[in-house]
Structure 1
Amino acid sequence: MTTRTAQGVAAAPAGEHPNQFALLRQRRFAPFFWTQFAGAANDNLFKFAFTVMVTYQLQVGWLEPKMAGLVIGALFILPFLLFSATSGQLTDKYDKTTMIRFVKNLEVAIMIIAAAGFATDNVAILLLCTFLMGLHSTLFGPVKFALLPQVLNERELTGGNGMVEMGTFVAILLGNVVGGLIVAIPDTGRRDVAIACVLLAIVGRGIAQFIPSAPATDPGLKVNFNPVTETLRNLKLAHGNLVVFRSLLGISWMWFFGAVFLSQFPSFAKEVLHGNEQVASLLLVVFSIGIGTGSLLCEVLSRRHVEIGLVPLGAIGMSVFAVDLYFASRGLPPASGLTLSQFLGIGAHWRVMADLALLSLFAGLYSVPMYALIQLRSQPTHRARIIAANNILNALFMIASSVIAGALLGAGMTIPQIFLLVGLANAVVAFYIFMLVPEYLLRFVAWVASRFAYRFDVKGEENIPTEGAAVLVCNHVSFVDAILLMAASPRPIRFVMDHRIFKVPVLGWLFRLAKAIPIAPRNEDPVAYEAAFDAAARVLREGDLLAIFPEGAITRDGNLQEFKGGIMKILEREPVPVIPMALTNLWGSYFSRIEEGGAMVRPFRRGMFSRVGLNVGAAVPASQVQPAVLQGAVARLLASG
């Protein structure tokens, strides 16, 4: 039996969370997936064939080969800057399936014009079609990302985004490979590219006919066609949620980073690696496989939740392998026009390909959770306009990347040096974003702790609410209890914690970064005591999760202590459901106290990767809450193992 979302689109049965590939068997996802796949493939078949044509085959006096990729990339991105605001409004106002079919009709018309350009070697017509295909993608972008949270639930969202990201880059791979191979065919290559572009557009339009209706989320919206004022309004709308807005900046930086590499692959293959068109295609194959692999890994590594802790991991990998790509590109043996087999026969080239594969894999780990977070945290009524704001920022960053890369090339910098500079800049930008949005860094710490310090198993995780206010109560076993609860929750948690824990090195800094609420005994500091309850009430009033440890201190003997009455004072102000939790098998580990000594004194007290668990019980209504009732619920969860 299926359920339906608020917009009336069929979703998965409650409690059922199939593997992400299972979505390809469901009509709510499969036709959309293949439609966007065909569109992305056609975009890149067209663009790469055109780029190869002007880089290797035609002599165009006003378009130098080394600048062709930058010009074509910038022209494709320009419509995102000009028309994204209008596109976001149209997507919120109209049925998304209607929008998709309109966009696919437009694609067919554009490809017919492009066919004429390829047939006559008319670079001006093909540049016009590049701009028009950018317009086609501008209209499709908000639909693509606004549709997913309308048809997928929270536990499917990371997997769905991973599938779309993987599909997009596999389509890029196939489009680029096919485009590069076809255009290189002697005599008939450009004609064959024209035929392929038109046929692929028609196939995509046919598949779009099978996408189920996805009703408008704001049908009463009055569309403002002024791109300047609406762009400013969209950016202001996105800025209303700082976590979302800064995540948009993070994604835009990723596109800046990626655009530098993608736009330079033909010239990198020709001038640095000394390869032919097939080598340029191979670089795109490797890059696309890496992105696709990283995107699919997100669901596995995130336990099918929106796990933004993967974002810092992705950023680290992007920088490390971009920097190594610079060193791998130095001192390559001199050659000219290497074929694919000749290129692969040189050992030094395998390091280059490994760096490209790994930096793109980590880019997949970086981008998918960010997209899912934006979709999850944006208001449904204006989600498409938030996505449009994202596209506007992406366009600005990608155009900036083209301008900056062009300027650096013009100043005499080599392509590997540009890769090095971008890799180092990525480390600086990522650190800055993570300081602005500490949730990313905190989730990363929680993710690492729950997978590398311990083998962490969560039972009953479906009882952790994905929306609305609630209080989480848990036994207090160690100094990392809060970090493990963070790792288990799909949402941020604000903790009420003993003020003394903030004095613990490193952990105290992390908890301050997490905006944990310090509490002191009333007889010790009555002002801090009341301030803690005021802060707790605000958290719940804003619809967020609040966690407390009702024992009041970390257990010294491993046994559950008596629950204090502070929970009742919290619920008097904000009566919300209470979720009982129990951490198991954590007593005796490095971060817990033991009877004969303190915590964190014997690093390998229980070895590495010791198994710990979290059992989550069903919500207890506020009206039924008493400290003894909650203590009994937690005790039963502990007994269940």
Structure 2
Amino acid sequence: MSNQFSLLRSRRFLPFFLTQALGAFNDNVFRNALVILIAFRVTGLDAADVDFYSNLAAGLFILPFFLLSATAGQWAERSEKSRAIRQIKLLEIGIMVLAAFALWTGSLPFLMAVLCLSGAQSALFGPVKYSILPQALRPEELVGGNGLIEASTFLAILIGSLFGGWLMNAFDNGECYVAVAVLVLAIAGWLSARAIPVAAATDPSLRMDWNPVRQTWRVVMGLRGHRAVLNAVLGISWFWFFGSVVLAQLPNYTKVYLGGDASVAPLVLTLFAFGIGLGSLMCEMLSRRTVEIGLVPLGALGLTVFGVDLYLARPEAALVAGLDWRAFLAVDGNIRLCIDLLLIGLSGGFFIVPLFALVQQRAPRERLSQVIAANNILNALFMVAAAVLAIVLLQAGLNIPELLLVTAVLNALVAIYIFTLVPEFVARFVSWLAIKALYRIDIQGLEHIPDEGPALVVCNHVSYMDALLLMGAVPRPIRFVMYYRIFNIPGMKQLFKAARAIPIAGSKEDPDVMERAFAQIDAALAAGELVGIFPEGGLTTDGEIAPFKRGVERILATRPVPVVPMALRGMWASMWSRRDSRLHRARLPRRFRARIGIIAGPPIAPEQASAASLEAAVRALRGDRA
């Protein structure tokens, strides 16, 4: 497949994509129609009653995520997923029949009960929605597939909200039109679900625990054994915290601080949602179809920078009010506000898509649905916390721009905390940034690197950038063994430590450092990690591959694991090599943005791997392109 949009022609993906998009669209048609009904169509409600029912509606939709997510995760684990989705969509049809009847009667308690049922259906669908993707998609399609799902979800939220509000406002009997719409959408979702291919149960023998409190505690605590997954889930939940604060304030922010009328509110919401969708779709292109968690710090940085600039652009209430969207865009400074909102959304897409892909890639396949369930529980908890924080700060006297500023600053603090716990995010970001800025890279053969389990990666050594290049190219975390003097270079040591590189010295230089290095290599392989080494023992001084040293044989004798040969092509003529340096040190680069290649070959069994055979394999991969 050439890019993520090719997935939309595939039966592996398209029916599921349509099913989940129609579900998100339908939820928001009904929810926003209900909000409009409460605010403008129900007689006898004062402003306090409207606020009460509006907040109750939000709470009733979120409540089932706390009560049902853990059970839904177990059910998704033991069920064939295409059948489970069809059952959920049949449930949606039944709920929308009740919704149509509730709209016809105009009973608020009945409508609230139906909204809670709609939340329950969404809670059941969540674990299946994200756990089916790794079964349906190849590893290199995971980021693109998640990007399409996230983009469609936010666009469905936007368009569904606008459509539901329009149906309710545009017609005297808007309730009837909404009732017909939600029924048609539910049936369309069920029809598309019938075309989803079979996706086998990941743990059909799982015994259900029907105690929601005990199982909720169990699935959330189960994240602790997978540090990267836990922090990815916390990052996703933080995004929903951030997004909830922003989305909840946009209507009043538009009216009071932007001076806009009812036509400006959809424009502002569209900018934010479109930004998220665009950022989600760009992730595949920027990550070269790998799970590139280096985009997460970039997204976190954007959320803070553009969030702060949004405050600086308009800290006080607008001097004029009631502007339509054309007049609004004509006011000095408002284009800057629009760009900020768009880029906040764009940064959110960069932030959340790699995190979802990381969870799907690294969580145990047989527990992925339960991990997604834990994620949904924490998402709901963070969204409630966001609402509470907003209420407290606004009651304390902050205005909406100040609340958004506080949220942007909190985002920076949370990001620093997460990246401190998992330095791999920052290490990947720096390596991704470096290779994007300095090189044009052709990457081949990464499918030969195992998705899990221990393996040794061996590669030729041409420049001081080699480890960073391979770290940025290989989707799995890779622990490089590097010469201790390079490891200790000021300014780079912190990056190498964050990447958990292993410093090594020659036996004559420092035998203690060498022995510690071999012990660390063995421990890393025993833990199922990927270890990278440069068996030449140093940078090439003439562009040719030097004979491989026998340290690789010592590693394999102690811990026999598969060996993946890799080769760097074109690096000799690029930046930071020793080309033409009589002093044997790197000179200023002769060529910026050089075109280079990284290629991986099939794994070699440990019993067939020797220093000489691995050297021959790397030479063959590199060819004559030094």
Shared fold by TM > 0.5? yes
Change (3 A) 1:629 1:394: same
Structural mapping, 1:54-69, within 5 Å: 54-55=38-39, 60-61=45-46, 63=48
The answer to whether the Cα contact below 8 Å between 1:472 and 1:579 also exists between their aligned partners in 2 is: yes
Q: 1:550 aligns with which of 530, 535, 553?
A: 535
Change (3 A) 1:153 1:630: same
Deviations 1:553-585 (A, max 9, x none): 223343322221100001101222222222233
Q: Give the distance between the partners of 1:451 and 1:239, measured in 2 at CA.
A: 34
Name the residue aligned to 1:190.
175
2:161 equivalent to 1:176: yes
Q: Give the distance between the partners of 1:132 and 1:617, measured in 2 at CA.
A: 52
Q: 1:618 aligns with which of 591, 602, 605?
A: 602
CA displacement at 1:334 relative to structure 2:
3.2
CA displacement at 1:331 relative to structure 2:
4.9
2:459 equivalent to 1:484: no
Deviations 1:256-302 (A, max 9, x none): 01111122222323333333433322222222211111111111111
The answer to whether the Cα contact below 8 Å between 1:42 and 1:200 also exists between their aligned partners in 2 is: yes
Further displaced range: 127-136 or 305-314? 127-136
Q: Give the distance between the partners of 2:243 and 2:419, measured in 1 at CA.
A: 19
Q: RMSD of the TM alignment (CA)?
A: 2.2
Change (3 A) 1:392 1:182: same
Structural mapping, 1:103-502, within 5 Å: 103-331=88-316, 333-502=318-487
Further displaced range: 176-185 or 300-309? 176-185
CA displacement at 1:60 relative to structure 2:
3.2
CA displacement at 1:356 relative to structure 2:
1.4
Further displaced range: 118-127 or 199-208? 118-127
Q: Give the distance between the partners of 2:491 and 2:38, measured in 1 at CA.
A: 55
Q: Give the distance between the partners of 2:176 and 2:315, measured in 1 at CA.
A: 38
Identity %, equivalent residues: 46
Q: Give the distance between the partners of 2:442 and 2:610, measured in 1 at CA.
A: 28
Further displaced range: 236-245 or 189-198? 189-198
Deviations 1:68-120 (A, max 9, x none): 76553333222112211011011111121222122222222222333344445
DSSP 3-state at the match of 1:149: helix
Q: Give the distance between the partners of 1:120 and 1:409, measured in 2 at CA.
A: 37
Further displaced range: 141-150 or 498-507? 498-507
The answer to whether the Cα contact below 8 Å between 1:69 and 1:264 also exists between their aligned partners in 2 is: no
Amino acid corresponding to residue 539 of structure 1 in structure 2: A
The answer to whether the Cα contact below 8 Å between 1:180 and 1:277 also exists between their aligned partners in 2 is: no
Name the residue aligned to 2:16.
32
2:520 equivalent to 1:539: no
Q: Give the distance between the partners of 1:347 and 1:64, measured in 2 at CA.
A: 38
Q: Give the distance between the partners of 2:103 and 2:248, measured in 1 at CA.
A: 21
The answer to whether the Cα contact below 8 Å between 1:52 and 1:266 also exists between their aligned partners in 2 is: no
DSSP 3-state at the match of 2:597: strand
CA displacement at 1:622 relative to structure 2:
2.0
Amino acid corresponding to residue 557 of structure 2 in structure 1: E
CA displacement at 1:343 relative to structure 2:
3.4
The answer to whether the Cα contact below 8 Å between 2:573 and 2:591 also exists between their aligned partners in 1 is: no
Further displaced range: 90-99 or 325-334? 325-334
Q: 1:526 aligns with which of 505, 508, 511?
A: 511
Q: Give the distance between the partners of 2:464 and 2:5, measured in 1 at CA.
A: 39
Q: 2:77 aligns with which of 85, 89, 92?
A: 92
The answer to whether the Cα contact below 8 Å between 1:52 and 1:277 also exists between their aligned partners in 2 is: no
Further displaced range: 317-326 or 240-249? 317-326
Deviations 1:150-208 (A, max 9, x none): 11111111111111111111211220221222222152333322322222122212222
DSSP 3-state at the match of 2:170: coil
The answer to whether the Cα contact below 8 Å between 2:459 and 2:567 also exists between their aligned partners in 1 is: yes
The answer to whether the Cα contact below 8 Å between 1:238 and 1:244 also exists between their aligned partners in 2 is: yes
Q: Give the distance between the partners of 1:87 and 1:313, measured in 2 at CA.
A: 33
Q: 2:34 aligns with which of 42, 50, 62?
A: 50
The unaligned stretches of length 5 or more in structure 1 are: 1-16
The answer to whether the Cα contact below 8 Å between 2:38 and 2:54 also exists between their aligned partners in 1 is: no
Amino acid corresponding to residue 567 of structure 2 in structure 1: A
Further displaced range: 175-184 or 619-628? 619-628
Name the residue aligned to 1:596.
582
Amino acid corresponding to residue 577 of structure 2 in structure 1: S
**How many aligned positions are there?**
623
Change (3 A) 1:253 1:538: same
The answer to whether the Cα contact below 8 Å between 1:74 and 1:398 also exists between their aligned partners in 2 is: no
Amino acid corresponding to residue 22 of structure 2 in structure 1: A
Name the residue aligned to 1:510.
495
The answer to whether the Cα contact below 8 Å between 1:180 and 1:281 also exists between their aligned partners in 2 is: no
CA displacement at 1:147 relative to structure 2:
0.5
Change (3 A) 1:394 1:241: same
CA displacement at 1:508 relative to structure 2:
1.5
Q: Give the distance between the partners of 2:410 and 2:32, measured in 1 at CA.
A: 27
Deviations 1:424-454 (A, max 9, x none): 1111111111111111111111111111122
Amino acid corresponding to residue 546 of structure 1 in structure 2: V
Name the residue aligned to 1:3.
none
CA displacement at 1:56 relative to structure 2:
5.5
After TM superposition, the score normalised by the length of structure 1 is: 0.92
Change (3 A) 1:236 1:423: same
Name the residue aligned to 1:570.
555
Amino acid corresponding to residue 419 of structure 2 in structure 1: F
Amino acid corresponding to residue 72 of structure 2 in structure 1: S
Change (3 A) 1:114 1:278: farther
CA displacement at 1:347 relative to structure 2:
4.5
Q: Give the distance between the partners of 1:212 and 1:386, measured in 2 at CA.
A: 23
Q: Give the distance between the partners of 1:114 and 1:274, measured in 2 at CA.
A: 36
Q: Give the distance between the partners of 1:105 and 1:206, measured in 2 at CA.
A: 10
Q: Give the distance between the partners of 2:399 and 2:505, measured in 1 at CA.
A: 59
Q: Give the distance between the partners of 2:239 and 2:449, measured in 1 at CA.
A: 31
Change (3 A) 1:620 1:94: closer
After TM superposition, the score normalised by the length of structure 2 is: 0.94
Further displaced range: 68-77 or 285-294? 68-77
Change (3 A) 1:118 1:462: same
DSSP 3-state at the match of 2:462: coil
Q: Give the distance between the partners of 2:55 and 2:441, measured in 1 at CA.
A: 47
DSSP 3-state at the match of 1:184: helix
Segments of 4+ in structure 1 off by > 6 A? none
Q: Give the distance between the partners of 1:67 and 1:367, measured in 2 at CA.
A: 32
Further displaced range: 145-154 or 173-182? 173-182
Q: Give the distance between the partners of 1:514 and 1:56, measured in 2 at CA.
A: 56
